[in-house]
Amino acid sequence: MSKHLPLAITIALAIAVSYANIGGLDVYALDEAKNAEAARAMYASGEYVVPYYNGELRTDKPSLHYYFMSAGYSLFGVNAFGARFFSSLMGVLTILITFLFVRKNFNEKAAINASLVLIASLHFNFQFHMSVPDPYLVFFITWAFFSFFEAYKTNSKWQLLSYYFAIGCGLLTKGPIAVALPGAAALLFLIFNKDLKWKTIWRLQPFGGIVLSVLVAAPWYYQVHKATDGLWTEDFFFKHNISRYSEAMEGHEGLFVITLAYVFVLGMLTYLPFVFQSLKHTWRNRQNEALLYCGLAVAFIVIFFASSSTKLPNYTVPAYPVLAVLVGVYVSRLDNSWLKSLGNRIGLISYCVLLIGFPVGIYFGIAQDKTIFSLTDLSYYFALLSVAGILILYFAFAKKDILSVIRVNTAAWLVMTILFFSVIFPQVDAQNPVRKLIPELDRSAHFISYQRVNAAFIFELERVVPRYVNVEDIESAMRQYEKGYVISRTSYQEELSQIPGLMYQSEARDMFENPTTLIMRWDRTQ
């Protein structure tokens, strides 16, 4: 077998899961639609300093992901594929550098297993199907994590430059968090490794390195600060960083354990029978510097976001690649004696019960949603996991073959991931209100919105849709154009119905949300 074959297969699988049907799913989710539209506005206007969403200053994130999406639009057009192309590329690159890091510091078997942890993780791959900043941040932080360790071990100047350059790119992607995560992981490693010495610090050049990181991002930060008279800077740093950490925003709050569930259950669901044992294995073998470093990186990310007031599943995704290192190394060392442990057997049985019951849970989950309740047949696809659960029990307890257990489990989730993006979710996605309502509208008419508007409509229409907050402004806009539409919510239908000449057009409930999108119209040409 060629020595390059494992790497080639890893790349092929990474491409398969990262790019699975990225052009066949609508840009619908709120954050995705806002980011994709802000990038579209940049691309259309040629204004690459100040980001705007629907004609208003957007201060949520820095600009680097907008540039990648603009490049995607230039190459593939303003569509879902163009918006997501480079997000998916970040997924492939993250898996690739994880494989290379583990192969260099452990062995090829561990590298294969570590990359499969990411390839078979549905939640990990979901992130790289989104036109949001997170795919880019995850890649740059992972690059920084691995570059630091290589620089520390080999004294490579190129790896050290890569470390600080990656942090600089992260600063331009999502801000200070790109410094906090790799910086804290490096500091904790030096402390726990008993190497926080002036000689080591001098060798790692943190002061000059931070200057380099800042120089990567500072030109844009300065330009946007100057162009907005400091408004972007103030809103981004105080509202979207400090306030988001100290106060729960947009209802995204929860207990400390929610963050643990996001990382160790949602992110590592495929390898759930092994993930906690891998943490135990890491602690017992902490004399191994690579394991110690990755373990500390995971611990800091979890603790940092668990202590944040705002909690979202995507926040902790930067922990997945370093956690995949720990799981991959642990799994690569397993033999059939693992099945002799009572705790391991109980954990594996519980996991198989979860897999076998998956279709039932999905069935009732779909049935409870008012938008997609008619799609309960989709639960049948998840029977694949039930079959995998039965096979895992067979190989574990009849054959006592741990290698077959791992292979069946990973293969099932890999196929399930591709099925999810290619077959299952497209049918769910087709129920979104943009897909239902836009085809029946005259795109040449004038569009405005009242109070609240689903961001996906703005991206789909590829234009600014002025938002008004009082009825008088709606009436004034209607006098300026012979025909048009008002996009709003059904909760505002009563007050909109009082406007002379404004008639009900259609409505559709927003997916996974309580609001229902309302379309009203006027037409003085009839």
State the CATH number of the domain containing residue 504. 3.40.190
Residue 56 lies in a domain: yes
The token pair that represents 452 in the structure block: 């609240």
pLDDT digits (tens, 9 = 90+) for 76-100: 999 999 999 999 999 999 999 999 9
Contact by Cβ (8 Å): 147, 159: yes
Confidence of residue 246 (pLDDT cuts 50, 70, 90): low
Residues 161, 79 share a domain: yes
Q: Is 213 a member of any domain?
A: yes
Residue 470 lies in a domain: yes
Same domain, 155 and 228: yes
Q: Please indicate, yes or no, if residue 74 is contained in any of the structural domains.
A: yes
Domain total in the chain: 3
Rounded mean pLDDT of the chain?
Answer: 93
Distance CA(455)–CA(28), nearest Å, equals 8
By percentage, how much of the chain surpasses pLDDT 90?
Answer: 86
Q: What is the mean pLDDT of residues 411-430?
A: 96
Same domain, 355 and 316: no
Indicate whether 388 and 508 sit together in one domain: no
232 with 262, same domain?
Answer: yes
Whether residue 70 is contained in a domain is answered as yes
Task: Note whether 307 and 348 are same-domain residues.
Answer: no
**pLDDT confidence of residue 1:** 55
Higher pLDDT, 253 or 215: 215
Region 14-28: mean pLDDT is 96
Same domain, 285 and 347: no
Indicate the residue among 276, 307, 332 that finishes a domain: 332
CB 322 within 8 A of CB 145: yes
Report the pLDDT value the prediction gives residue 512, as an integer from 0 to 100: 73
The predicted pLDDT at position 343 comes to 94
pLDDT per residue as tens digits for the range 144-199:
999 999 999 999 999 999 999 999 999 999 999 999 999 999 999 999 999 999 99
Q: Are residues 253 and 367 in the same domain?
A: no
Do 413 and 472 have their domain in common? no
Nearest to 220 by CA among 41, 50, 44, 34: 50
Regarding whether 248 and 223 lie in a shared domain, the answer is yes
Residues 440 and 361 grouped into a single domain: no
Same domain flag for 342 and 273 = no
Query: Last residue of some domain: 283, 306, 332?
Result: 332
316 pLDDT band, cuts 50/70/90, is very high
Q: Return the minimum-mean-pLDDT range out of 99-113, 230-244, 499-513.
A: 230-244
How distant, in Å, are the alpha carbons of 45, 55, 177, 444 from that of 187? 43, 43, 15, 58
Grade residue 252 by pLDDT with cuts at 50, 70 and 90.
Answer: low
Choosing from 285, 313, 332, the residue where a domain stops is 332
Does 425 fall in a domain?
no
Domain hosting 487: range is 434-523
Tell me, yes or no, whether 358 lies in a domain. Answer: yes
DSSP class of residue 63 equals: S
The answer to whether residue 42 is domain-embedded is: yes
